[in-house]
Structure 1
Amino acid sequence: MNNWPEGYGRRVLDQVDSTNAEAARIAPGLTGPEWILALRQTAGRGRRGRPWADPVGNFAATLVMRPAETPDRIALRSFVASLALYDAVAAATGRDDLLSLKWPNDVLLNGGKLAGILLESTGMAGQGISHIAIGIGVNLASAPDMAQVEPGATRPVSLFSETGIRIAPQDFLNLLAPAFARYEEQFRTYGFAPIRELWLSRAARLGQVITARTMRNETTGTFETVDETGNIVLSTPKGREVIPAAEIFF
């Protein structure tokens, strides 16, 4: 706890339905950002409402914040969280060479999905966003079977299965929270540009052919870059495609 970031609250729950749901419940009474860690999560969620498997020993936490910013800028915090996760895993393992970042919000270890991020916001019509919840799940102890994930999805892995390293969720939070605070300060001070540059230096499959799938269609092309607003850019036979939201398949 000696390295815990100043100004950030912390609460550890034995069990909760969802840390993002708990964030929504406590947000009105908060005066600053707060981390919520659940040692057991009974109704965890991933992107597009998918269930998030959360066995005992894995990491399930949410950072709840109340930023007074526009929605497009708030959404860029998924990149801030990705970089913080990368650093936390590198600190836990001593091996940053095994890690990469998959757009828009996954951390890969040995090419498999180790962690995911779910950013949600709440607000009233005409009054902007009241708070955001940055939910983070990390397979510290175990990973789901391939049968539990979408066909073609990245293979799930755990920190233990790939490295033999065991780390308690509370100890992992002690690595993650200071890393996030550092990148958050950089983001607030210098904007998205340095965050984007560092994220691209750690990006998985940059310069390679990937497929971006939305609810309506899919686009296959060379992963060219992430632009100044966080969109992924693919070079395709039809030209340059800028995609704001999609699932990425390798």
Structure 2
Amino acid sequence: MSTDRVWPSGVAKVVLPETDSTMAEAQRRLGDLAGPTWILALRQTAGRGRRGRAWQDPQGNFAATLIRKSDEPPARLALRSFVAALALHDALADLTRLPEAFALKWPNDVLLNGGKLSGILLESHGPGILSLGIGVNLHSAPERDPEAAFPPVSLRQETGLVIRPEQLLDRLAPAYETWEERLRTYGFDPIRTGFLRRVARLGEPLVARTLKDEFHGTFDGIDDNGALILATAEGRRAIPAADIFFP
């Protein structure tokens, strides 16, 4: 777990009282981007998650986007979702002193006591522009979606702890840079190792649902590209993107 709590050099921070979406705000600021920038909104009115799903974000919850430029290919940029998940896990564990309560769900959700605490959305805005949107239920959780694999939970309801969004950002930004530096220096291996140490249900049966298919098997790790490895009756299968469910 990263213990570095100093705001990273060369990384900007923008805190807004309110915005529609920090991802949309990041796009609007592309022309003014001088370096990596975190955009935090204390209230977000039109947040969204994967596949265009709405993301509810009442006052007190965390909504932020990291936008940065990179000359790396898209497949390499996509690995930042794992970097973000590891950084968020470490920041939350550091703030709460409850590391055993948190786990990761492939590809990038953070779980608290088995419930979904956060979501991470990665988007590319043209060549070399990456946005990482992160939402965390610090204060309250939305109603459960019957189609969701895990019930939503909030940090306050599960632990009794009250953490302000700015507090979390001040731990998250340095933790992210720590894992980012490991990826740039050593490649994906330390990221994969760190992720698998924190991941939920490794070695257990799961169902992976893509837009077209459904696969049943045992969670057998992740490959060099971050794809889920599923051990099925027909052999091992790498699944790049899917919603996963545990029986």
Q: Tell me the TM-score normalized by structure 2.
A: 0.96
Aligned-partner Cα distance in 1 for 2:147–2:6: 41
> After the TM superposition, which residues 88-127 of structure 1 pair with which residues of structure 2 at under 5 Å, given as runs?
88-123=91-126
Name the residue aligned to 1:20.
23
**What is the CA-CA distance between 1:150 and the residue it aligns to?**
4.4
Name the residue aligned to 2:224.
228
Aligned-partner Cα distance in 1 for 2:147–2:77: 31
Aligned-partner Cα distance in 1 for 2:150–2:168: 23
**Any conservation in 1 of the 2:72–2:128 contact (CA below 8 Å)?**
no
> After the TM superposition, which residues 1-250 of structure 1 pair with which residues of structure 2 at under 5 Å, given as runs?
3-123=6-126, 129-146=127-144, 149-250=145-246
**Cα RMSD after superposing both structures:** 1.0
* 3-state SS of 1:62 partner: strand
Aligned-partner Cα distance in 1 for 2:152–2:190: 29
Aligned-partner Cα distance in 2 for 1:111–1:218: 23
Unaligned runs of 5+ in 2: none
Listed one character per residue, the Cα deviations across residues 64-112 of structure 1 (whole Å, up to 9, x for unaligned) are 0111100000000000000000001101110111111000110001010
* 3-state SS of 2:194 partner: helix
**What is the CA-CA distance between 1:153 and the residue it aligns to?**
2.1
**Any conservation in 1 of the 2:210–2:243 contact (CA below 8 Å)?**
yes
**What is the CA-CA distance between 1:152 and the residue it aligns to?**
4.4
**Any conservation in 1 of the 2:15–2:40 contact (CA below 8 Å)?**
yes
Aligned-partner Cα distance in 1 for 2:208–2:25: 32
**Any conservation in 1 of the 2:206–2:219 contact (CA below 8 Å)?**
yes
* 3-state SS of 1:180 partner: helix
Aligned-partner Cα distance in 2 for 1:117–1:102: 11
150 and 45 in structure 1: CA distance in 2 versus 1, 3 angstrom threshold: farther
* 3-state SS of 2:34 partner: coil
Aligned-partner Cα distance in 2 for 1:198–1:230: 12
How many residues align structurally? 242
Unaligned runs of 5+ in 1: 124-128
Aligned-partner Cα distance in 1 for 2:20–2:228: 33
**What is the CA-CA distance between 1:206 and the residue it aligns to?**
0.3
